[in-house]
Amino acid sequence: MSAPTRPPTGPRLAESMLIGGGTDAVHAWLTRTAEHCWMRVDRVPLDEVAGWRTEPDTGNLRHHTGRFFSVESLAVDLPGAAVPHWRQPIINQPEIGILGILTREIDGVLHFLMQAKHEPGNPNGLQLSPTVQATRSNYTRVHQGKAIPYLEHFRDTSGHRVVVDIRQSEQGAWFYRKRNRNMVVEVDGEIEVLDGFRWLTLGEVADLMAVPDLVNMDARTVLACLPSGGADLAGAATDAFTTALVRSADPATPGVHTIGDVLSWITEVRTRTDLHVALGPLSGLPDWTRVDGRIAHRSGGFFTVVGVDVEAGGREVAAWSQPMIEPVGTGVIAFLVKEIGGTLHVLTHARTEPGYADVTELAPTVQCVPETYDHLPARPRFLDEVLTSSRVRFDTVLSEEGGRFLGARNRYMIVETDADVAADDAEYRWLTLHQYEELLRHSFYVNIQARSLLLCLRSLVPRG
């Protein structure tokens, strides 16, 4: 039986958040690690992806073992949307993987064991990743590779303290009902730190969030599920903005809406949204063509499905091949934030995507690839304000999941606003940081882009 969950509230978490500034040593460690941990990625036609086959009856792409994932089509009906009907390729990966980070106290301060890891879709090579980042097929060693380090701490938590253990979704536009188990497990005493791993405080990770393409998506989603420390961060505030931010994380500070009101709103949106989806064959997919060894939309927009051959050093497997999704353009992922009654509130969008497990999740104020709207009839609400504002608090390009997406990057932004949104707006609500933390204790309320932005927002707490 697992040890009871014990969130690291109070001074332990606050201290870890405030202690930063060790990033020069982290960069030096990454440079040393890159000398023997490398990856080469070459594009190949989909018909030449070793170990994968195109099913003759459906055109779907599937691994010869039947494991890992498949690329299929999804038919979507969403009456009332700007585009009410469409079909698209989508990744179907029903396995639930483990995204896990070990934590322990070092000199009275919580540290987190992070890994320097390559993925074939990473635009810049090594990124800061969770202790364990593995699909079920990976950790059951379908690939016949080496065992995954530290996996035993997450598969058997006996004797440890489980800090976070929650299933969360991933990109609902590219994955069909994909879930991963997000875990943080606290260990007592020393454990061997293997090559390519390093203990970091939350403050150090927060400092590194400002570096483009460094903290990977899987690390961001796990760390976002931690509580922020709330009132214990009060001494960190240095100006009106950070005072309002710290108040936003304090459970004693009320928001514009109660958490009950927010839950009722989400339930109402999910109930009234008439979404119908169905998996189907890739062959004969309208508006998509399979030419030149890839699958692409006839407009040249959205994304393409491509094949890659991978060779790697410092990985469990030295070489493999796979299909990947390659987005067209860099996205914009943004929170508009506003001080209301002395407390920072985040403008939150109830967003429906066809691959979500439960229809709608809470999303950033803006989440789009601006170039995509050259092909669509409506421009996203608030996009122009985000792109033209002079009140930008955070602005960094970060990569998405490099195991399935090739070169997927988004510009993550936090922008102050004076916008007024009606209290009964059908699609948007003002939430506090603590309300987000309450929702993150449960599955499928907060989407992966919003989870990344929440970590970006926490990184704005001064660290002295």
Residue range 151-209, pLDDT digits in tens = 999 999 998 999 999 999 999 999 999 999 999 999 998 999 999 999 999 999 999 99
- The whole-number pLDDT of residue 82 equals 86
Least confident window among 9-18, 362-371, 393-402: 9-18
Q: Are 294 and 46 in contact (CB under 8 A)?
A: yes
Asked if 127 and 399 count as a contact pair (C-beta separation under 8 A), the reply is: yes
| Rg for the chain, CA atoms, rounded | 22
Map tokens 């439960």 to a residue.
Answer: 358
The pLDDT, as a whole number, for residue 1 is: 35
Residue 9 has pLDDT above 80, yes or no: no
Burial letters 71-88, b for 16+ CB under 10 A, else e: bbbbbbebeeeeeeeebb
Mean pLDDT of the chain: 93
- CA-wise closest residue to 70 among 43, 49, 87: 49
pLDDT at 22: 84
Helix (H) or strand (E) holding 198: strand 197-200
Residue 150 has pLDDT above 90, yes or no: yes
Q: What is the pTM of this model?
A: 0.95
Lowest mean pLDDT among 185-194, 229-238, 403-412: 229-238
pLDDT tens digits along 339-393: 999 999 999 999 999 999 999 999 999 999 998 887 677 789 999 999 999 999 9
Angle formed by the axes of helices 217-224 and 448-458, nearest 10°:
70
The DSSP line for 132-162 is EEE-HHHHTTTT--PPPTTTHHHH--TTSEE
Pick from 44-58, 299-313, 361-375, 426-440: least confident? 361-375
Pairwise CA distance, residues 351 & 432, whole Å? 18
- Cα separation, 217 vs 220, whole angstroms: 5
pLDDT at 464 over 50: yes
Q: How confident is the model at residue 7 (pLDDT cuts 50, 70, 90)?
A: very low
Contact, 295 vs 281, CB < 8 A? Answer: no
Dig out the tokens for 375 from the structure. 């092909």
Of all residues in the chain, the percent with pLDDT exceeding 90 is: 85
Residue 461 has φ and ψ, to the nearest 5°, of -65, 125
pLDDT computed for residue 136 by the predictor = 78
164/103 Cα distance (integer angstroms): 11
Q: Residue range 119-135: average pLDDT?
A: 95
pLDDT confidence of residue 6: 44
What dihedral do alpha carbons 44, 49, 53, 56 form, nearest 10°?
Answer: 10
C-alpha 187/C-alpha 169 separation (Å) is: 26
**Are the C-beta atoms of residues 452 and 372 closer than 8 Å to each other?**
no
DSSP run (H or E) holding 262: helix 259-272
Beta bridge partners of 347: 430
Residue 114 pLDDT exceeds 60: yes
CA distance readout (Å), 445 to 120, 199, 236, 252:
29, 30, 29, 22
| List of E strands, 84-137 | 85-92, 97-106, 109-117, 127-129, 132-134
DSSP string over 397-408: EEE--TTTBSS-
Flag whether pLDDT at 231 surpasses 80. Answer: no
The whole-angstrom separation of Cα 337 and Cα 322 is: 40
- Tell me, what's the pLDDT at 142? 57
Q: What is the pLDDT of residue 10?
A: 58
Q: In the prediction, which pLDDT does 139 show? A: 63
| Structure token digits, residue 360 | 């709608």
pLDDT value of position 437: 96
Give the pLDDT band of residue 236 (cuts 50, 70, 90): confident
Backbone angles phi, psi at 439, to 5 degrees: -70, -30
- The pLDDT value given to residue 195: 95
Higher pLDDT, 399 or 236: 399
Q: How far apart are CA 335 and CA 347, in angstroms?
A: 6
Percent of the chain with pLDDT over 70: 96
Q: Which residue would you say has higher pLDDT here, 223 or 235?
A: 223
Per-residue pLDDT tens over the stretch 256-294: 999 999 999 999 999 999 999 999 999 999 999 999 999
Tokens of 251: 């459970």
DSSP 59: -
Give backbone dihedrals phi and psi of 369, rounded to 5 degrees, phi first.
-105, 110
CA–CA separation, 42 vs 311, rounded Å?
Answer: 9
The alpha carbon of 105 is separated from its chain's Cα centroid by a whole number of angstroms, namely 26
